[in-house]
Amino acid sequence: MHWWQAVILGIVEGLTEYLPVSSTGHLLVAQSLLGIGTQGDKAKEAADAYAICIQAGAIVAVLGLYAGRVKQMGMGLLGRDAAGRKLLINLIAAFIPAAVIGLALSKIIKHYLFGTWPVVAAWLVGGLAILAVVQWQKHRRANSYPDMFGQTPDRGRGCSIDQVTLQMAVIIGVMQCLAMWPGTSRSLVTILGGLMVGMSLSAAVEFSFLLGVITLTAATAHDAKESGELMLEMFGPVNLVVGFVVAAFAAALAVKWMVSYLNRHSLAVFGWYRVALAAVAAMLIAGGVMA
């Protein structure tokens, strides 16, 4: 791997990690186009580990942007902030389903699903799901349909992150398990899960970001332990640092943009993006441009 390839992968990771478009899917396609991880099983294992480990940059970005929430949860852990303690418990409850299933099925998932065609399929299905949920929200608000807990929307608004219950958090956590299919997007399924249980869009996005810190930290630590030595042997520590730093800056920009954008718009643009991306990727694979 050359340093400029590490820069490209860092940009791709940072820009897509918290957007509902799947960073793993984008990284797999980017690696394929750059010819990284295509020289055998060991190269693929190292490339997969690299893609996951540079997530640490995106984690640092969110920790910085949401330092107030992180501090609140820290105070809650010390028994000094009830709301912070409740949020921390909810995030841990949402993390557990993916942790259990991920540890049990990680090798099977990597063997069968870490490929371009599975990613294309996930992009398409996820895009259509976003568009369907956006339409469902419009009809629900117009006709005051209740959510799965029997609550009707209050002037088009949902509950705040401080009003999230343990039951709601567990449902979002179960939804997160769907993101183990590369291309699905962890952010997508957790944001949609939050909307489905009655959260406001801003609350669902924030909860998704904070849950991502826990989930991505666990995934990064797991892959670093399993394949870190091989990754460093093949790509070197400099490329890892470059990817980490670039991902951190790119993620900070992406998160700020997304929060600002969603204050004025719906998720629909991400749905159309995913559908278009799936179509383009399918044509590239069919044309032999991408493996």
CA–CA distances in Å: residue 136 to residues 1, 36, 192, 270: 45, 41, 11, 16
183 CB neighbour count, 10 Å cutoff = 31
| pLDDT tens per residue across span 78-89 | 999 999 999 999
Q: Provide the CA 269 distance to its chain's centre, in angstroms.
A: 17
Q: Provide the CA 113 distance to its chain's centre, in angstroms.
A: 16
pLDDT at position 13 over 60: yes
Does residue 116 contact residue 29 with C-beta atoms inside 8 Å?
yes
Q: Which of 45-49, 109-113, 259-263 is least confident?
A: 109-113
pLDDT at position 107 over 50: yes
| pLDDT tens per residue across span 135-151 | 877 776 666 555 544 55
- Strand, coil or helix: 158: coil
Average pLDDT over residues 35-39: 80
- 157 falls in which pLDDT band (50, 70, 90)? low
Kindly state the percentage of the chain with pLDDT values over 90. 47
pLDDT at position 110 over 80: no
pLDDT at position 72 over 60: yes
Q: Which of 99-108, 159-168, 213-222 is least confident?
A: 99-108
Q: Which of 44-48, 53-57, 73-77, 275-279 is least confident?
A: 44-48
- 155 falls in which pLDDT band (50, 70, 90)? very low
Q: What is the largest CA-CA distance in the chain?
A: 60
Alpha-carbon torsion 124, 273, 250, 254, what sign?
A: negative
